[in-house]
Chain A
Amino acid sequence: MIKKSSVMSCRPTHSSIEWPTIKPEVLSKGLSTVSVLECCPISTVSFESSMACTMNNSISDLLSPDWLTSEHSTGTSIMAVEFNGGVVIGADSRTSTGAYVANRVTDKLTKITNHIYCCRSGSAADTQAIADIVNYHLEFHEVQLGEAPLVKTAASVFQELCYNYRDQLTAGIICAGWDRRHGGQVFNIPLGGMCVRQSFAIGGSGSTYVFGFVDSNFKKGMTKDECVQFVLKTLALAMSRDGSSGGVVRLGIITEDGIERRTVLGNELPRFYED
Chain B
Amino acid sequence: MSSIGTGYDLSASQFSPDGRVFQVEYAMKAVENSGTAVALRGKDGVVFAVEKLVTSKLYEAGANRRIFNIDTHIGMAVAGLLADSRQIVETARTEASNYRAEYGGNIPVKYLADRVAMYKHAYTLYSAVRPFGCSVALGSYDEIDGPQLYMVDPSGVSFGYLGCAMGKARQAAKTEMEKLKLKDMTCLELIKEAAKIIYIVHDEVKDKNFELELSWVGAVTQGRHQKVSQEVFAEVERYAKSALEDDSDSGNDDM
A contact residues vs B (CB 8 Å cutoff): 14-17, 141, 144-146, 149-150, 152-153, 155-157, 159-160, 180-181, 195
Contact = CB atoms under 8 A, between A and B. Distances in A.
A150 B103 CA distance: 9
A15 B144 contact: no
A129 B10 CA distance: 51
Given A152-B105, A159-B104, A14 B111 contact: no
By secondary structure, the B interface counts as: helix
Contacts of B111: 144-145
For B101, B103, B111, B144, the residue with the greatest tally of chain A CB atoms inside 10 Å of its CB is B103
Given A145-B111, A181-B144, A152 B98 contact: no
Contacts of A152: 103-105
Contact of A17 (B102, B108, B114, B144): B102
Interface in B33-89: none
Nearest to A181: B144
A88 B104 CA distance: 23
A16 B102 contact: yes
B105 A156 contact: yes
Given A14-B98, A15-B98, A144-B111, A156 B144 contact: no
Given A152-B105, A153-B105, A157-B102, 5 more contacts: A15-B101, A144-B111, A146-B110, A157-B103, A195-B104
Interface string B89-123: 00000000010011111001011001000000000
A141 B101 contact: no
Nearest to A160: B102
A239 B102 CA distance: 36
B98 A153 contact: no
A14 B101 contact: yes
A152 B99 CA distance: 13
A145 B115 CA distance: 11
Interface of B: 98, 101-105, 108, 110-111, 114, 144
B146 to A, nearest CB: 13
Contacts of A17: 102
A156 B102 contact: yes
B103 A141 contact: yes
Given A144-B111, A145-B108, A181-B144, A153 B101 contact: no
A87 to B, nearest CB: 18
A15 B105 contact: no
> 6 closest pairs, A vs B, by CB?
A156-B104, A153-B103, A15-B102, A156-B103, A15-B101, A181-B144
A17 B104 CA distance: 13
A15 B108 CA distance: 18
A145 B109 CA distance: 10
Nearest to B145: A181
A38 to B, nearest CB: 38
6 contacts: A14-B98, A145-B111, A150-B105, A156-B105, A160-B101, A195-B104
A148 B79 CA distance: 34
Contacts of B114: 144
Contacts of A181: 144
Nearest to B105: A152
For B98, B102, B111, the residue with the greatest tally of chain A CB atoms inside 10 Å of its CB is B102
Contacts of A144: 111, 114
Contacts of B103: 141, 149, 152-153, 156-157
B99 to A, nearest CB: 10
A181 B110 CA distance: 16
Contacts of B105: 150, 152-153, 156
A150 B144 CA distance: 13
A155 B104 contact: yes
A98 B53 CA distance: 75
A136 to B, nearest CB: 13
A205 to B, nearest CB: 28
Nearest to B115: A144
A17 B103 CA distance: 10
